[in-house]
Amino acid sequence: MRCPVCKRETAFEGNPFRPFCSDRCKLIDLDNWLSGRYRISTPIERSEEAITLETGTGGESGEGDSSGSE
């Protein structure tokens, strides 16, 4: 298996730092989480998505097409 930080090949069994290869890589990963470099995304709420679609779609295709063609 490979270390998620440095990508070096490392043994899983008998490794106290698994899935990392060393304490250094384990601490680098922890720092990445604490500093916000890793993020878990959340889906946009339906109401925000609907507002975005109405604003973006309605203004460009609805009004622009009728006034631009005549």
CATH number where 53 lies: 3.30.50.10
Q: How far apart are CA 22 and CA 41, in angstroms?
A: 28
In a domain, 69, yes or no: no
Q: Is the pLDDT of residue 63 over 60?
A: no
Task: Tell me the pLDDT tens digit for each residue of 39-62.
Answer: 877 776 666 666 666 666 554 444
In a domain, 23, yes or no: yes
Q: Is the separation of the CB atoms in 20 and 7 below 8 Å?
A: no
Q: How far apart are CA 67 and CA 52, in angstroms?
A: 23
In a domain, 70, yes or no: no
Split into its structural domains, the chain has a count of 1
Residue % of the chain over a pLDDT of 90: 44
Domain hosting residue 29, numbered range: 1-62
Provide the H-helix boundaries in the chain: 23-34, 46-57, 63-69
Cut 0.85: pTM above it:
no
How many other C-beta atoms lie within 10 A of the C-beta of residue 14? 6
